[in-house]
């Protein structure tokens, strides 16, 4: 019998928990779901887990795998399960069961909900593997020998149920693949990814930093990092401007009332930074821009001749992410969105979505990203997470499916991955290491225009409800740059590099001429740096290579006479060019974004 990789990984999580219980009989267990590369389990053993503990857990897991222990399922009422887990001294499982009993499954996180099947209507299932019993919906492999190739990997801290007020547990991660070859390939990729880690490269290349005084998840951008952000944003704007977008600007705060009306306060209030004024008015730092943009649209009556309205704005939004979830630029509290919203009639949806889709294709082709498409739909079993009615959602999802069909691309469906106000097309970019990252989105929203009563006047002089399209090309500039830094291993292409040409004077007598030459290149629009240090030429070249400079010119007597010897990054042989020809070549490479 064949098993899905998720079944294999979830079963491996149970075997790891069984190994932990064997080694630490008093261990308390949180949740242990499957994840993209394996699994994890949140545990409390009464002390800090050590690297030696991880090695012992690996050995014990292998012993249990070799014993071919069965995964035995038993169904019972929530009350019976509470009694069972109280007897087993597992307070976290008891807490989950009490929540399931009183609130149902809709209040559980995705990781917690993986343990319970809502179709069982009040009943739960538990699985026993050897001496270990766990609350779990299953299914699993038949026995512990079928958990594939695995490795107990690393550990991290995790607050129980993601709340800082709850006990801190230790999260033990494991890698798991169907075969040893796949596991080996993944570990090789991870070793390469470690070299490309954007947090490490960001510091080495002087792109961004963090300050304890400013706070976690709030990156500070250096001049070089700011160039990257600006160049990327200008490229997106160039593509959007060609499709008829116009720029708007909004405040960073709003009255609570705006988010109450939009529906975000009810669904999103725990993630908002809230402000109470001295007059006791409640405001919030904006976590998204769409409600503000609705008010620009609604500031005057629109005729059908004014439609569509296309608003674009690159601006920061703020979300109260939990400290334990923050990670470099990948997860921050201050998010810069290259955001845009199209307000259009229903018969304009196709042309507007395809125009955005064209922008996405052009933008990501520039970086060599292969795009995969996910249609993110709602979860009908948890409809209270969404605005609107099931009928409206079915209409919006049918519209997006029709667009995909006309575009002629393959896709996967992501049930439950929709935004609260509408389904979306999520574009997944594959980087140089073959990893998939969610990048651009096109979101179709029939609900927020209803909440704000947004209309235009049609050809008959009647009010006609309109539709919103939410679209982001990079999404979060911070997260996109974390992907891009790792994609290029910090070696940015010439057009994007913060410094495009590094001029390296041979001796002190060449410095003034090198600076004059650099200024001439700057006047042509290039980003140039002169290394006027007292280091040897060899050391200057090594320093420039370490900074991953795309182009280096050693500037000596010959160069002062007008002929340049050019070193291109990644090219063994140097190139000799007259100054004019060099300038023409560089400007062409920049303009073509080669």
Active site residues: 290, 319, 337, 339, 341, 424, 470
Question: SS3 of 477, please?
Answer: helix
Place of tokens 């979300």: 319
Neighbours of 40 (CB within 10 A): 24
Which residues are registered as beta bridge partners of 283? 255, 275
Strands (E), 70-192: 72-77, 123-129, 132-135, 149-159, 168-177
Handedness of CA 288, 291, 297, 303 (dihedral sign): positive
Contacts of 193 (CB under 8 A, 6+ apart): 433, 435, 486
Place of tokens 């393959």: 410
Cβ atoms within 10 A of the Cβ of 133, count?
Answer: 22
Structure tokens at 296: 């620009």
Q: What is the rounded CA–CA span in Å between residue 420 and residue 447? A: 9
Per the DSSP assignment, residues forming a β-bridge with 220 are 209
Give the residue carrying structure tokens 């560089």.
Answer: 586
Work out the number of other CB atoms within 10 angstroms of the CB of residue 94: 18
For 129, the token pair is 């593997």
DSSP assigned state of 419 = B
**Residue from 338, 98, 323, 327 nearest 236 by CA:** 338
Identify the three-state secondary structure at position 40.
strand
For residues 594 and 455, what is the distance between their CA atoms, to the nearest angstrom? Answer: 44
Neighbours of 510 (CB within 10 A): 20
CB 477 within 8 A of CB 338: yes
User: Phi, psi (5° rounding) for residue 346?
Assistant: -60, -35
């Amino acid at each position: 019998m064949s098993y899905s990789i998720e079944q294999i990984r979830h079963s491996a999580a149970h075997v790891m928990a069984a190994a932990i219980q064997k080694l630490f009989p008093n261990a308390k267990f949180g949740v242990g779901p499957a994840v993209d590369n394996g699994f994890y389990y949140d545990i409390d053993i009464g002390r800090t887990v050590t690297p030696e503990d991880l090695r012992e857990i690996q050995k014990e897991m292998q012993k249990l795998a070799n014993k071919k222990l069965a995964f035995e399922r038993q169904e019972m009422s929530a009350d019976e399960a509470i009694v069972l887990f109280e007897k087993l001294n597992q307070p976290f499982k008891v807490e989950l069961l009490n929540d399931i009993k009183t609130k149902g499954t809709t209040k559980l996180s995705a990781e917690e909900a993986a343990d319970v099947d809502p179709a069982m209507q009040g009943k739960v299932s538990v699985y026993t593997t050897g001496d270990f019993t766990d609350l779990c919906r299953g299914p699993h492999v038949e026995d512990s020998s079928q958990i594939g190739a695995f490795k107990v990997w690393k550990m991290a801290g995790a607050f129980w149920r993601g709340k800082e007020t709850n006990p801190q547990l230790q999260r033990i991660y494991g890698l798991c693949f169907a075969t040893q070859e796949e596991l080996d390939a993944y570990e090789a990729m991870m070793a390469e990814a470690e070299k490309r880690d954007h947090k490490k490269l960001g510091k080495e290349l002087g792109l961004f930093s963090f300050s304890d005084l400013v706070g976690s998840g709030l990156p500070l951008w250096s001049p070089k990092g700011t160039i990257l952000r600006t160049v990327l944003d200008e490229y997106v704007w160039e593509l959007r401007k060609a499709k008829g977008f116009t720029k708007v600007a909004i405040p960073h705060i709003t009255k609570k009332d705006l988010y109450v009306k939009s529906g975000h306060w009810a669904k999103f209030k725990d993630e908002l930074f809230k402000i109470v004024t001295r007059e006791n008015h409640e405001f919030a730092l904006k976590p998204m821009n769409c409600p503000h943009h609705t008010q620009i649209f609604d500031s005057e009556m629109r005729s059908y001749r004014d439609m569509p309205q296309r608003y674009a704005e690159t601006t920061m939004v703020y979300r109260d992410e939990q400290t334990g979830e923050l990670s470099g630029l990948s997860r921050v509290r201050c998010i810069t969105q290259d955001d845009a919203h199209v307000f259009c009639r229903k018969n304009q949806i196709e042309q507007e979505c395809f125009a955005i889709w064209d922008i996405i294709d052009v933008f990501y082709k520039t970086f060599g990203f292969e795009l995969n498409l996910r249609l993110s739909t709602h979860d009908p079993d948890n409809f209270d997470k969404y605005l609107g009615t099931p009928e409206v959602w079915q209409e919006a999802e049918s519209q997006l499916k029709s667009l995909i069909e006309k575009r002629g691309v393959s896709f996967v469906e992501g049930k439950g991955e929709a935004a609260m106000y509408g389904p979306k097309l999520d574009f997944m970019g594959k980087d140089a290491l073959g990893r998939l990252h969610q990048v651009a989105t096109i979101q179709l929203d029939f609900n927020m225009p209803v909440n704000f009563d947004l209309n235009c006047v049609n050809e008959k002089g009647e009010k006609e409800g309109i539709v919103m399209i939410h679209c982001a090309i990079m999404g979060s500039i911070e997260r996109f740059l974390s992907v891009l830094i790792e994609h290029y291993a910090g070696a940015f292409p010439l057009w994007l590099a913060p410094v495009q040409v590094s001029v390296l004077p041979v001796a002190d007598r060449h410095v003034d001429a090198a600076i004059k030459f650099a200024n001439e290149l700057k006047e042509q629009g290039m980003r140039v740096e002169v290394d006027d240090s007292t280091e040897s030429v060899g050391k200057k070249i090594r320093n420039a290579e370490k900074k991953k400079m795309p182009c280096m010119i050693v500037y000596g007597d010959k160069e002062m006479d007008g002929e340049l010897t050019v070193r291109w990054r990644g090219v063994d042989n140097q190139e000799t060019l007259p100054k004019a020809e060099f300038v023409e070549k560089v400007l062409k490479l920049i303009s073509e974004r080669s």
